[in-house]
Structure 1
Amino acid sequence: MPRTLTTLLFLGLYLSQRVSSQIQTLSKPTIWAKPNFIIPNGMPVIIWCQGMHKATEYQLYFEGQLSALEKSNPPGMMNKVKFSIHTMTSKTAGQYRCSYRSGELWSNPSDPLDLVITGMYDKPTLSVHPGSEVISGEKVTFYCHLETATSTFFLLKEGRSSHPQRRYGNMQAEFSMSPVTTAHRGTYRCFGSYNNHVWSFPSEPVTLLVTGGTENTSLTPTEQPSSSDSWEPYLVTTKTGFQEAPALWDHTTQNLLQICLAFLVLVALVCILAEDRLRSKKTQEGANLALSWECRRSFRKEKHLDE
């Protein structure tokens, strides 16, 4: 087999493996909770899972175990489904992931979603030093105290989309902010915790007012200004880990690769058939030439005998 054809076939095999591996990979779904990932005891919550548009089935995992299964309706048309928890309890608090099926393939699990239940223990007290009104550039420390013995505390700012701050301490924890800017002003609450997903009642709110300095509008993506949303009955409203449009496999690129691969395989087959036909033609020509020479030899031999 010619060297060029061998190279072509190896290239076709390589591209086939690359396309196959890319087709076998589905984009990771996104998962979020509504109205929030922090839910008071006894309240409902909905877990949303979003995959690609041709997803036909979704699975929800709780603490690594399959918890629920939902099919898109109509099949292959909806790119997200919801899993409802009608009453939040300590048994439903924990880490969730989801995955989806498209065709015969299942995607990898989503990033984790941690559902937290509140209102399970006594209410802590929250205070701020040196006071609730400070000048920009000063150091501020929040103190969260809980009479019921615990060693883990969380501090949240209302309206924040960032993750809560966590600190450790014996019945009390300190949350220091230095230097403070106008971006730190807002309403704060704290919680005591006995594990990452089971928290106490929220403390009474403490509002921090920062004066002086210039208005700081260059906040990080996780430091959004505080809103006037009410704390009750839920905490801050946020879509943890949610993206409006998850990164999906580019179907146009996939189709182009498949077309190129099919064309390459077709070219290889044509080359193989052409080579085989050429060999057959050469073999036939050789056989005809040998037969012609044999006939001539026979004719000459007979003529010689006749003479």
Structure 2
Amino acid sequence: MYQFREKCYTKDLKEEKIGDSPLRDEGASLNIFSVYPSAGSHDKPSLSAWPSHIVPLGQHVELQCDSHSNYYKFKLYKEHGNPIPQIQGRSFQKKIVLDPVTSEHAGTYRCYGFNLRHTFKISAQSDPVKIIISGIYKKPFLLALQTPLVNLGEKVTLECRSEIMFDTFTLTSHKYGTIKDSLELSAEHHLGGSQANFSIGPVTPDHAGTYKCYGSYNHSPYEWSDPSVPIDIKITGGTQKRLGISKYGMCAKKKLQKDRSLNGNFESRDGKIIADVKYVKTELVRHMICWALL
């Protein structure tokens, strides 16, 4: 009688013994290996960084792994570079804080979930989250080549320059303190340093906001400079126009019919409900009326 050991490898490639089973045959003992199949994309958790994925050197970032499936524990790992002792081999419940961050924390992270009741069941990997560590290098300078007060439909160029020979400049736009978008350009080198010109437009109201730029090198793309002094871009030349509110129109009309004391005028124009906002209560305006700059 021979014995064979059945083994299974978990996601982090740790060998787990399932058990011994009798084998009636001739020849040497067999080692049988099996890998638990990965879950589908519907089982994939989501990974997010708070308050931002751009983290100043020495500050902290909270990484949160969420899943709609029945996973009680998660593991976080960094895809490339040196492992982070703070997370290496550790499991956590949804959140983990990296504090204080160093350049070693810069990189791409993923997480996956597992259930302690089912040792060999693990989720699919989350989509990657890039953690950028800023403050590694001296900040560049950002200036608007035209006035930062931009007329609707026109263009504005923001120039990011530095005395350091950066390979790449990244421009970020912020609204309400949150990063809304980012643009990346290869740097142009000259005797005085490096620069990149970001052309924005034709502008819409969505382009309004605060802009900053950072410099970095190709060999360490997740290690950025301090941010430049911000520039606020404001959009002018728009006029307020009443908009058709097909989504809320009937609801607003019913509201008016129920509240005869409300001083508001609604009229039908080309099949749409139009509101004369000057006479409508603030509460109704907030929930029912959509304004825009055109």
TM-score category of the 2 structures, normalised to the smaller one: 0.5 to 0.7
Aligned in 2, Cα 1:120/1:108: closer, same or farther, shift over 3 Å? Answer: same
Scaled by the length of structure 1, the TM-score of the pair is 0.56
**Distance change in 2, residues 1:119/1:138 (3 Å):** same
2:174: which partner in 1?
158
The structure where helix makes up a greater share of residues is 1
The answer to whether 1:95 aligns with 2:108 is yes
Q: Residue by residue, what CA displacement relative to the aligned partner does 1:17-48 show, whole Å, maximum 9, x if unpaired? A: xxxx9995460010011111111000011111
Q: Number of aligned residue pairs: give it.
A: 189
Higher-Rg structure is: 1
> Contact 2:57/2:136 (CA < 8 Å) preserved in 1?
yes
What percent of counterpart residues are identical?
Answer: 35
Aligned 8 A contact 2:39 2:122 in 1: no
After superposition, where does 1:290-301 map in structure 2 within 5 Å?
Answer: none
Residue 190 (str. 1) matches residue 213 (str. 2): yes
Would you say the 8 A contact 1:38–1:118 is kept in 2? Answer: yes
- 3-state SS, counterpart of residue 68 of structure 2: coil
Kindly report the root-mean-square deviation, in angstroms, between the aligned alpha carbons of the 2 structures: 2.6
Q: Distance in 2 between matches of 1:178 and 1:167?
A: 16
Distance 1:180 1:162 in 2: 15
Residue 70 of structure 1 pairs with residue 91 of structure 2: yes
Which of 88, 100, 110 is the matching residue for 2:126? 110
Which structure 1 residue ranges, 5 or more long, are not aligned? 1-20, 73-80, 217-307
After alignment, is 62-71 or 135-144 more displaced? Answer: 62-71
Tell me the secondary structure at the aligned position of residue 193 of structure 1. Answer: strand
1:48 matched to 2:64? The reply is yes
Letter in 2 for 1:192: G
Is residue 147 from structure 1 mapped to residue 163 from structure 2 by the alignment?
A: yes
Q: Which amino acid aligns with 1:169?
A: A
Q: Secondary structure at the match of 2:58?
A: coil
Counterpart Cα distance in 1 of 2:163 and 2:185: 16
Structure 2, gaps ≥5 residues long: 1-35, 189-193, 242-294
1:61 aligns with 2:74: no
Instruction: Identify the structure with the greater strand proportion.
Output: 2
- Is contact 1:47-1:84 (8 Å) kept? yes
Distance 1:95 1:22, change over 3 A: closer
TM-score normalised by structure 2 residue count: 0.59
Aligned AA for 1:151? Answer: D
